Amino acid sequence: MRQVNADRIVERARRETGLDRFESESFREGLEIAVADVNKAGWPQWGLDNFEEAASHLLGLRLKIDDYLRQHPQALETPVKAPVIVMGMPRTGTTLSSNLLATDPNRRSLLTWVADDPVPPPTIEGLRTDPRALAALELERRSQAEDPAAGRFYMSSAVFPTECISVLSQDFKSMHWEALGRLPAYSEWIWSADMTSAYDHHRRFLQVLQHAAPGPWNLKMPSHAMHLRYVLKAYPDARLVWTHRDPYTAVGSICSVIANVHLRAQDKPDDAWIAEFYPRQLAEHARRIMVVRAEIGRERVYDLHYARTMRDPIGSMRDLYAWLGDDFTAEAQANMRRWLQENPQGKWGKHAYKLDRWGLSEQKLAPLFADYLASYDVEREG
């Protein structure tokens, strides 16, 4: 069986893009650690091939960003100002919140198709009409026709906002890679890695995109929580939004999602690893926000509760806008109502999950989330 090779991944990225000059090879450390873990994981050949393809594609995007900035250095002169950053434990409403914010024409979100094909950067007018967007929507339509229930895990579309995770993955410093399977060395490393270079690339990526279509930015990724000090180092004026949800429900949901992600690289999910690792990972998301919040002040972070957002999404957004100091226009409200009407929960099927599939229970998980639940009035879902 042919193993994954870091140099081969890098050379494939260069060959497929026709570009050969990285501004920095800061991605090398994470790439080497991930490759070593992947080669020990026992994945089938198709899983290894999928990993190489994904890794080379993301490094190819990095090459394109670096090349664009060499040709348009003036893009680096415009700072990324006061981005709204939605974070929290996974499966706590970050997707719903960012989808609602993205309907406001006065805001700018990282759309899925743009994250996957950022160069040349689209104009404001082309965000939903660019030929690349239309091609992505057509591919999406075909995929949904083939497997309508696939969308039950995550409300996504080529023209909906996506997480920042693919951008950070271009520096090989993101939770994206560890989600593929049992990669213990990479998982241990990424929890304590110096994320400076990853967020430097993240900022450069946004500067390319806003060169043709200015912000202000709405960004979302649950695991920004894991490296919040680096977020604030890159964006000192960031406006931080923390989504809250019953952690026991969130654990059950993320275990189900990760089991599905494992199927991108292996024949069946590693349930034992999922049960061991992901409850701790979710608890660490909350713990790290609490630690940094104590340092920077409670008022620097807005608490957005999933239960209330589900009951009263427009009221929740109105309160968030008031905290942000932004104008909650009639157009933004109308767009949000339309999005909610067109995208009801369960549109692509019900996402069903139970803790006991992974041998978990609220009693077993309680010590992990005791401090969080004692500190925040989070509505329980039962």
Query: How confident is the model at residue 255, as a pLDDT?
Result: 95
Q: Residue 206 pLDDT > 60, yes or no?
A: yes
Report d(CA 180, CA 126) in Å as an integer. 33
- Considering only residues 360 and 149, tell me which one the structure prediction assigns the higher pLDDT: 360
Question: Looking at the domain 6-375, which fold is it?
Answer: Rossmann fold (3.40.50)
Q: Give residue-wise pLDDT tens across range 59-105.
A: 999 999 999 999 999 999 999 999 999 999 999 999 999 999 999 99
Cis peptide leading into residue 344 (ω within 30°): no
**What torsion do the CA atoms of 354, 357, 360, 362 make, to the nearest 10 degrees?**
20
Q: Give residue-wise pLDDT tens across range 22-52.
A: 999 999 999 999 999 999 999 999 999 999 9
- The domain locations on the chain are 6-375
Contact in structure between 127 and 114 (CB atoms under 8 Å): yes
- Considering only residues 208 and 152, tell me which one the structure prediction assigns the higher pLDDT: 208
DSSP line for 234-277: H-TT-EEEEEE--HHHHHHHHHHHHHHHHTTTSSS--HHHHHHH
Q: Give residue-wise pLDDT tens across range 329-344.
A: 999 999 999 999 998 8
Report d(CA 286, CA 149) in Å as an integer. 30
Tokens of 96: 């719903």
Contact in structure between 108 and 213 (CB atoms under 8 Å): yes
Report d(CA 68, CA 48) in Å as an integer. 30
Task: Count Cβ atoms within 10 A of the Cβ of residue 118 and give its class: 0-12 exposed, 13-18 middle, 19 or more buried.
Answer: buried
Angstrom CA distances, 270 to 236, 278, 320, stand at 39, 12, 39
Q: Give residue-wise pLDDT tens across range 241-299.
A: 999 999 999 999 999 999 999 999 999 999 999 999 999 999 999 999 999 999 999 99
| pLDDT-above-70 percentage for the chain | 95
Q: What is the largest CA-CA distance in the chain?
A: 59
Reported as a pLDDT band with limits 50, 70 and 90, residue 147 is low
Query: How confident is the model at residue 117, as a pLDDT?
Result: 97
Query: How confident is the model at residue 2, as a pLDDT?
Result: 87
Reported as a pLDDT band with limits 50, 70 and 90, residue 155 is low
Mean pLDDT score, 173-187: 95
Tokens of 54: 């994904």
Q: In what order do the strands lie in the sheet with 239-244?
A: 108-109, 217-220, 84-88, 239-244, 301-305
Contact in structure between 279 and 365 (CB atoms under 8 Å): yes
Query: How confident is the model at residue 154, as a pLDDT?
Result: 53
Q: Residue 349 pLDDT > 90, yes or no?
A: no
Mean pLDDT score, 220-239: 98
- Considering only residues 292 and 156, tell me which one the structure prediction assigns the higher pLDDT: 292
CA 177 to chain centre: 12
